[in-house]
């Protein structure tokens, strides 16, 4: 099964069970029916506000992701660029990946946490590291990329599509 890339975006659709519970408790912020969430760096000086639901959520175990995150994999949500706003002082780092294309990350100069990424192969979209939302109920990854580089103990549930390298 092959995935379409870049993914098509349909922001604002689909409520998770967690959304329904939070709405009952009055903890969901909405603007024109679009759910807003705020992601933040470790020190809180740099924030990203997203509107609506992500187009795609994925995890990646490539060695670049491991180094940048200092962890076994990254867990990112992809949004249309227009659905995201960033506020606060930040630095930008652009690097070339194995495919020869670039990836750019925006991070806080105080605490160093990355809150946004842009990918040459997916124009018009940005990625937000899911951990920055500090929301354990956030949607699970649909795909797990670079499974061939995963740490030997790491096992995802079977409904998460595992891709040995990355989608074409």
Report in angstroms how near the CB of residue 33 gets to Zn ion at its nearest.
31
Cα separation of 168 and 21, whole Å? 37
9 contributes a contact to Zn ion by CB under 5 A: no
Cα separation of 82 and 124, whole Å? 8
Q: Count the Cβ atoms, other than its own, within 10 Å of residue 104.
A: 14
Query: Among residues 110, 138, 160, 161, which is the contact residue for Zn ion, using CB under 5 A?
Result: 110
Cα separation of 100 and 98, whole Å? 5
Query: Among residues 38, 45, 47, 49, which is the contact residue for Zn ion, using CB under 5 A?
Result: 45
- The piece of 2-10, 12-20, 107-115, 124-132 that touches Zn ion (CB under 5 A) is 107-115
Q: 């750019």: which residue's tokens?
A: 104
Using an 8 Å Cβ cutoff, are 50 and 30 in contact?
A: no
The number of residues making up the chain comes to 168
Q: Which is nearer to Zn ion, 111 or 134 (CB)?
A: 111
Cα separation of 141 and 107, whole Å? 23
111 contributes a contact to Zn ion by CB under 5 A: yes
User: Residue 82 — φ and ψ, nearest 5°?
Assistant: -70, -15
- The piece of 2-10, 15-23, 75-83, 109-117 that touches Zn ion (CB under 5 A) is 109-117
Report in angstroms how near the CB of residue 108 gets to Zn ion at its nearest.
3
Report in angstroms how near the CB of residue 104 gets to Zn ion at its nearest.
14
- The piece of 48-56, 62-70, 79-87, 147-155 that touches Zn ion (CB under 5 A) is 62-70
Residues that bind Zn ion (CB under 5 A): 41, 43, 45, 60, 62, 65, 108, 110-111
């Amino acid at each position: 099964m092959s995935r379409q890339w870049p993914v098509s975006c349909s922001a604002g659709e689909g409520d998770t069970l967690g959304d329904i519970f939070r709405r009952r408790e009055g903890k969901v912020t909405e603007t024109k029916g679009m759910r807003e969430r705020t992601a933040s760096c470790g020190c809180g000086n740099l924030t990203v506000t997203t509107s609506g639901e992500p187009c795609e959520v994925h995890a990646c175990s490539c060695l670049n992701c491991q180094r940048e995150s200092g962890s076994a994999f990254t867990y990112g949500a992809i949004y249309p660029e227009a659905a995201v706003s960033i506020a606060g002082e930040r630095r930008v780092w652009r690097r070339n990946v194995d495919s020869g294309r670039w990836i750019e990350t925006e991070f806080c100069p105080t605490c160093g946490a990355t809150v946004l990424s842009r990918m040459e192969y997916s124009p018009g979209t940005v990625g937000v590291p899911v951990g920055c939302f500090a929301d354990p109920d956030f949607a699970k990854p649909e795909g797990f990329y670079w499974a061939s580089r995963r740490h030997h103990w790491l096992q995802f549930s079977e409904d998460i599509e595992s891709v040995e390298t990355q989608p074409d």
